[in-house]
Amino acid sequence: MSGKPSVLLVITQDTKLEEARFVRDVLESAGVDVVHLDPSVRRNLGGAEISPDMVAEAAGQTIEAVRALGHEGKCQAVMIEGSIKAAHAWHAAHPLSGILAVGGSMGSALAGALMQSMPYGMPKLIVSTMASGFTAPYVGVKDIAMLNAVTDIAGINSISRDVFRNAALAVAGMAKGYDPARGHDKPLVLMTTLGTTETGTRRIREALEADGAEVMVFHSSGAGGPTLDSIAADREVALVLDLSVTELIDHLNGGLADAGPDRGKAGMRKGVPTIWAPGNADFIIAGPIDAARAQFPDTRYHEHNPQLTAVRTRLPELQALADHLAAIVGEARGPVRVFTPLGGFSNHDSPAGHIQDTSLPGPFAEYLKSVMPDHVPVTVVDAHFNDEAFSAAIIAAAREMMAR
Tens of pLDDT, residue by residue over 49-72, are 999 999 999 999 999 999 999 999
Q: Which residues lie closer than 8 Å to 147 by C-beta, 6 or more apart?
A: 125, 126, 127, 128, 131, 163, 166, 167
CATH number at residue 87: 3.40.50.12020
Task: Encode pLDDT of 67-126 as tens digits.
Answer: 999 999 999 999 999 999 999 999 999 999 999 999 999 999 999 999 999 999 999 999
Q: Is the pTM of this model over 0.85?
A: no
Cα separation, 321 vs 283, whole angstroms? 12
How far apart (Å, rounded) are the C-alpha atoms in residues 77 and 59? 10
- Tell me which H or E stretch contains 340: strand 336-341
CATH number at 279 reads 3.40.50.12030
Query: What is the DSSP code (8-state) at residue 334?
Result: S
Rounded CA-CA distance 82/52 in Å is 9
CA-to-CA dists, residue 236 to 92, 196, 205, 331, 378, angstroms = 18, 29, 18, 19, 26
Chain CA centroid to CA 156, Å: 35
For the chain, how many structural domains are there in total?
2
Does the pLDDT of residue 310 top 60, yes or no?
Answer: yes
Do 23 and 171 belong to one domain?
yes
Domain housing 218: 188-403
169 and 298 in one domain? no
**What span, in angstroms and rounded, lies between the C-alpha atoms of 101 and 111?**
6
* Model confidence pLDDT, tens digit, residues 326-355: 999 998 999 999 999 999 999 999 999 999
> Do residues 355 and 300 make contact, with C-beta atoms less than 8 angstroms apart?
yes
The span from the CA of 12 to the CA of 51, in Å, is 10
Within a domain: 182: no
Specify whether 210 is located in the same domain as 135.
Answer: no
Q: How far is CA 291 from CA 36, 309, 310, 401, in A?
A: 50, 9, 12, 43
Cβ atoms of 169 and 30 within 8 Å: the answer is yes
**162 lies in the same domain as 241:** no
Q: Establish how many alpha carbons lie within 13 A of residue 275's alpha carbon, considering only the half-sphere containing its beta carbon.
A: 27
Asked if residues 267 and 301 have their Cβ atoms less than 8 Å apart, the reply is: no
232 and 87 inside one domain: no
Residues 169 and 246 in one domain: no
Q: pLDDT exceeding 90 applies to what percent of the chain?
A: 93
Identify whether residues 172 and 195 lie together within a single domain. no
Q: Is the pLDDT of residue 144 over 60?
A: yes
Do residues 193 and 243 touch, judged by C-beta distance below 8 A? yes
Same domain, 76 and 156: yes
Please count the other Cβ atoms lying within 10 Å of the Cβ belonging to residue 397: 20
